[in-house]
Amino acid sequence: MEAALFTGWIYDFLKPHSVELKVAHPEMLKAITAAKKKNDRADAEKLADLLRVNLLPECTMMSEELRELRRILRYRNLVVRTAI
């Protein structure tokens, strides 16, 4: 799975049902998979190939508590910026 906006929720849902779950680092992955023809099937094949040869650039997932704290702090930052 490639890290995106809703990755935390998907990760939390899939984790109990998986033996191993990996999250790809989007910036590093972009450099590796830069292609003119982009679609979900081609992207999935690239991810599968990188995983197969053990070259998938992984990122670590923070705990659910830390992700929730970051979400709250981002919202607080938004509220403070709009109040000024």
* Domain-located, residue 1: no
Mean pLDDT, residues 2-7: 76
Total count of domains within the chain? 1
pLDDT of residue 40: 80
39-74: pLDDT as tens digits: 888 888 888 999 999 988 888 888 889 989 999 999
Distance CA 42, CA 34 (A): 11
Rounded percentage of the chain residues whose pLDDT exceeds 90:
31
pLDDT of residue 33: 67
* Domain-located, residue 2: no
pTM (predicted TM-score):
0.66
* Domain-located, residue 69: yes
* Domain-located, residue 21: yes
* Domain-located, residue 31: yes
pLDDT of residue 37: 74
Can you give the residue range of the structural domain that contains 35?
Answer: 7-83
Token pair listed for 16: 């109990």
